[in-house]
Structure 1
Amino acid sequence: MNPGTDWQWRPVSLSGTIQPAILEKPQVGCGFGPELTLWHDCPDCALSLRQLVGLGNPDYALQFEGRDFGGEYLSVSMNLPDELLADLGPFHVLRVDGAFSATASIIVYARLNLVQGPNTAKILRQLGEPIDGQGALRLAEFDLAYADISPRAVDRAWLDLILQSPGQNTVTVHDLVMSRHPRAQF
């Protein structure tokens, strides 16, 4: 675990084999592995999602390939584990670190969703500059002191990784790690 963190997580799809390892022309809301759900607005589903194996550290990656993608967004939702929710509150900062590559320039966002009863707090962050080429390291932080959450427990949480206007592009997520950091009290 990295210094200064009290919890960290890597999605199963980036840390072990999942089945099926490829989705061709996935429908909206299609599941991929035990924790991922794919969302998009492409009318003809002109895309594929695959898990790549044996690439290094980590050994797995996720690759999105658009073929005449006619929509504006492609998103993968990742259910966050219950361990994150224990004592989660305004005294935490959640951080997402990722390694990406893309065949054409693309903007990637991370959106944290926190459910408390009937309310869902949503926090959107752009993952730095547009990704263009290999070896793009990006991060986003979510300071929960500024989130619209109450003092009661968080019931459920998920992270959306959103690719804006994927078009004809191949985007690879080589790594993605979420960590939780206690923040200074004020």
Structure 2
Amino acid sequence: MHERAIASSSCVYRNMYSLSDSPVYHIRSGNELEFVYALTDCCPLGIYITVNRNNPESFEKKGQIAFRETIFKNSSLFVIAGLVFVTMHPVLFAYIAHDFRVFIPDISSWDSFFATGGRTAILLFYAAFLAGLFRMTIKKQWRYIHMLVYPAIIIAAIHAILMGQSMASPVIYFLIICLTIVVCITFVYVRIKG
């Protein structure tokens, strides 16, 4: 399992960086990083689950929600959990790869952009989070900035399909695709509803 992940990641990195010192995994033999691999693979699924957990609230009208404070507290907890997952995934990957260039978006080609789309998605997630955090300061524009979550999810899904080692599992693949479709439907529904 790890050999396959190492080989595919090395191949992707060699394609992404045409430099002679391209970052390639140099991992000792053994199961020392098995837990880190497991966390790195689980984080993206956690991101999708937390985003989809907040989606049903988009379908409710403001006057119809009972215990609104409780819902916002729960929503905030899921947002924080989502940000933890969004942050942990590249941090753990940078730890494994011994390279912090994994945080810099690659815009050298469309293929590279979408294959490494997680880099762009994390920036969009944090922009959306900050817009929600400072919504009182940026009165009207915060909702438009906050909607960056939707393209971030789509870019992250494309990134997962193109580079995600856990996408070899049909269950994970099915979950990611279904959760992305739910996010897209929610976006269209909220836009039509106004």
**Which range, TM-score by smaller chain?**
under 0.3
- Structure 2-normalised TM-score? 0.22
- Structure 1-normalised TM-score? 0.22
Specify which structure has the higher proportion of strand.
Answer: 1
Structure of greater Rg: 2
Specify which structure has the higher proportion of helix.
Answer: 2
